Amino acid sequence: MTRSNAVMIVTGGARGIGAATALAAAREGYAVCVNYLSNAGAAEAVVKQIVQAGGRAIAVQGDVAKEADVIRMFDAAARELGYVTVLVNNAGILERQTRLDDMEAARFERVFATNITGSFLCAREAVKRMSTRHGGKGGAIVNVSSMASTLGSPGEYVDYAASKGAVDSMTIGLSKEVAGEGIRVNAVRPGVIYTEIHASGGEPGRVDRVKAAVPMKRGGQPEEVARAILWLASDEASYTTGGFINVSGGR
């Protein structure tokens, strides 16, 4: 499967790691479906960059936590771009930094709906289309987890950390479930990366505050995470499944 006929869906592809991944994938020859929840302008800007550089891309609005939206997204990608060969499960949210004993149940529902249910729904639809068991030609799923899954994020967002722990477990289990069906399932665990997600936690400058605790003494860039995602998605990682790449500066 060459990249010239490869099609990648990137959930949460309008900003941050998702946008960097979409742009890098297009440069390598992928046609890209840029999924977004609400920021149509940002998604269209990513698509415009890809198209102006001679690539193929579409923007598809959809809430990954909603089954109908996920199915519609996959159908649109297949219809407009071709057989989907790679899913990058990148969409994720977090909420304001606080202790667990100050969190409300509604917050858990929101975070888990996007980060867990969304990842599972997208992975399910990818398997239905890629698996040789269902008549597919194989493919790759790359889940975007977080170092929070191993560190726990105490005092900030243990709910987010736990949701990424679920993504880790799904990566391991699903990789074994579909390994004989032409699908590889891997994950990257970004550390502190300069993206807008920190503003959602109430601290836009969080990376600069915590970077001293990173062995490399700096925050990461979205493009550095994108390179790991693209390697796992590629045939260069043909014997890698159930694996994790920590893109975290050694933390």
Catalytic sites, residue numbers? 160
* Distances from the Cα of 102 to the Cα of 26, 99, 236, angstroms: 43, 5, 45
Per DSSP, 193 falls in state B
The owner of tokens 């949460």 is 12
The angle formed by the CA atoms of residues 89, 169 and 99, to the nearest 5 degrees, is 85
- Phi first, then psi: what are they for 129, rounded to 5°? -95, -30
Q: Where are the beta strands (DSSP E) in the chain?
A: 7-10, 31-36, 57-61, 86-89, 139-144, 183-190, 244-247
Quick check: 62 and 37 in contact, CB under 8 A? yes
Run of H or E including 142: strand 139-144
Structure tokens at 136: 């597919």
Beta partners for residue 216, in sequence order:
none
